[in-house]
Structure 1
C-alpha cells in the first residue's frame, strides 16, 4: 500500500521536563520524615498514654455522645432549614421578614456566644408558666431543678445550623429552572408532588455537597458545647476529665483528634457516594451533538469575520 505523500510528517513531541517538581517533592518528603521521627521519639507526646486511652470506655462514651449531638443537631437544623427556606421563598412579606431576621441573628453572632446564652437559659427563665394572664396557671416548669445541658446543647447547635441550611436549601431549590415546575404542573402534578419528584431530586445535586460539609463542621463544633455547659462530649472527656487526672494533655488531645479524624473520614466517604448517587446522568463532558453545534457556531463566526 503506497504511502500518502501529501500527509503531514509525524511530530516528534518531546515532553517538557520539570526537575524542580522532583526537587520540591524530595524536600517535602524529607521534612515530613523528620517531623514523624521527631514526634515518635519525643516523650512529650506520651505515646504510651495515647495507646492506653485510645479505646478507653470514657473516650468511647464521649465518641457516642458526640455522634448523638451531631445527628440530633443536624436533624433539627435541616428541618428548620427547610421551613426557613420556604419562608424566604414565600411571597408573604411577613414570612420573608421573619426568616431574614432569624438568619441575620444566628449567622451574625458566634456559635460559642449562642451556646453560652443557651446555657444561661435556666438562670434567665427560672420558671415557665402557662395559663390565663392574671389568672390561674395550667402549667408550671422549674428549669433550675432540671438537668438539661444536653438538650440545650442540641437546641443551640441546631438553631445555629438551621440558619446555614436554610440558605443551602434555598440555593438548591432556586437552581432548578422554573420550566421544570411548570412542566410538572402541566402534567397534573400537585405542588407537593412537583417538589418531591421534580424539584428536590434535581436540587439535591446542589444541596448535598455543602450539607456534607456542614455535617463535618457540626461534628467539630460539638467541641464547643462546654459553653452550655455539657461535659460529656469527646473533647470534654479527653481534654478536661482525663487530662486533668493524668496531667498529660498532649496525648489526650491526640486521642480526641484521632477519633475526630476517623469519624470525619467515614462521613466524607458517605458524602462521596451520596454525591455520586444524585449526580447520575450528569456529565461535564460535551455530547457529540453539543460538539457539532459548537463547531458549526465557530465556523459561522470565522466566516462572518472574513
Structure 2
C-alpha cells in the first residue's frame, strides 16, 4: 500500500523524474518556485497528490482506503499534503492565507497567463489535486478554491480557457451540498459580470455623448454647427435674432420657429423690394437715354 511502504513519509525514495529518485521532502523544499521544473516534470504530481485511479507515472501507487485512514490520522502527513498544495498554488500564482482564504500572489498575472492556455495539462493536475485534498484531510479548502477560480472564469474572464474543465470536472469533485453552493456562486458571478458590462457600456455611451453630443450651455456659439440639430432647444441652437444670416444653415430648422420664419421672410422681402427698385431705376435710365438719343437724331435731320 501507499502509506505502508512509507511513500508519503520523510523516507520516500520513489518520486521519479528523468530517471532520478527524489523524496517528497526534497521536492517541497527545493522545487517550490522552480516553475520551469514543475511545468515540464510529469511524475511528481502523482506522488504529491495520489488518487484512486492510476496516472501516467507507473511507479506511483494508487490511493487506497488504508492510505486515506493513515494520512488523515497523522497531523504531520496532513500538513505535508497541505504544504504540497501550497507549492502548487504558488505555481498557479495564488496564495493561501492563514485563515484559509485564497488570494492572488505577487506573481499572479504572469502565472495566470501561463495557466490560461487552451488544452493546458495543468487543468488535469488541478482535477487530481482536488480529488487528493478531498480525501487527505483538506476537503474544507475545495469550495473556497473553486469559488476563487469561478470568479476568474466567469466574472473576471481571466481564466476563460479553463471553463470546460471547470464545468466538466472540477465542480464535480465536490459533494452535493458544496456543489450547489458553487453553482449559486457561479450564477452570481455571471450576473455581476453582466451588470458590470452594462455599466461600462452606459459609461462609454455617456462619455461619447459628452465629447460628441450636446455642447455646453455656457458657450453655445463655440460649438461646431454639425453636432446639434434640435430645433426645440432654442438656447443651444438659435443664434442671435439680430444676426440670423450669420448662423450655419445646418444648426437649426427655422421652419419650426415662427419668429425666425418671419425674420427670414422680412429680410427676403426687403431684398426683393430693393432689387425691384434698383432694376426699375435702371430701366428708366435706359429709357430716358434712348429718348434723348432719338431727339438728337431728329434735330440733326432737320
TM (norm. structure 2) is 0.24
TM (norm. structure 1) is 0.24
